[in-house]
Amino acid sequence: MLKGADDVVTEQEDSASRHGEITSWDINDIKLPQDVRQIDWFQEWPDSYVKHIYSSEDKNAQRHHSSWAMRNTNNHNSRILKKSCLGVVVCGNDCSTLDGRKIYLRPAICDKARQKQQRKCCPNCNGPLRLLSCRGHGGYPVTNFWRHEGQFIFFQSKGAHDHPRPETKLEAEARRSSQKAQTAFSPSSPRLKRIQETESLTGAMPTREALPLLLSKPDVYVLPANFGGRL
């Protein structure tokens, strides 16, 4: 049976009304809506002034995951978790990789570690690194709020990020692992020297330095008495 125009309009108004009730909440409200008919897909890069309602069984929501570099911030309300954005670490020379990408490193969460990070060199050009702080919430860092209520996890973001996206946690871990591997097997690394010394002692492969010692032993190259050929 086909619906009339009035029925369609009524359904749209009802849907808009339900949507308005759901999005009209604030993270600081005493009570949050529990009559939620549709939950949101998890957002890895939430930006601007947005609200989301996730299932309490969503693993990413349970971990308060975000690909932005967020750290816990002191909050007077124990029921609400507050996190602030740290920004992104960029190359002071504004260099680019061979494939045209910029260097956008993930800031360290700890203050001391972040200060130490800025004293290091760019992994691409060895230039200086600098922290590009987030100021997207009226001059202050963008703030995310998380709150568990019943069967749902409520999320609210205040502010719009005014800086590039940093590398994700997985990308940062992969980059550090790659750097450690390159350092461990560089020609000047102590680890590689130890491996070479071990191979030399065990006879796995004689090094060039050991060859003159072998040639200096005359008994190794004594010719038989009945040898009639010429060298």
pLDDT digits (tens, 9 = 90+) for 49-90: 999 999 999 999 999 999 999 999 987 888 999 999 999 999
51-180: which CATH topology?
Answer: N-terminal domain of TfIIb (2.20.25)
For residue 27, the tally of other CB atoms under 10 A from its CB is: 20
3 state SS of 21: helix
96: Cα separation from own chain's centroid: 19
The residue with greater pLDDT, 220 or 55, is: 55
Q: Is the pLDDT of residue 179 over 60?
A: yes
Confidence of residue 13 (pLDDT cuts 50, 70, 90): very low
* Ranges of each domain in the chain: 51-180
Report pLDDT for 221: 40
Nearest residue to 172 (alpha-carbon basis) of 92, 108, 93 = 108
pLDDT at 104: 96
Q: Please give the full DSSP string across 41-78, using - where no structure is assigned.
A: PP-SS--SS-EEEEETT-HHHHTT--SS-EEE---S-T
> Which tokens hold the place of 148?
């568990």
In this predicted model, what pLDDT tens digit does every residue of 201-216 receive, in sequence order?
A: 555 554 444 444 333 4
Pairing of strands 104-105, 88-91: antiparallel
Count of alpha carbons within 13 angstroms of residue 83, beta-carbon side: 22
The pTM is what? 0.68
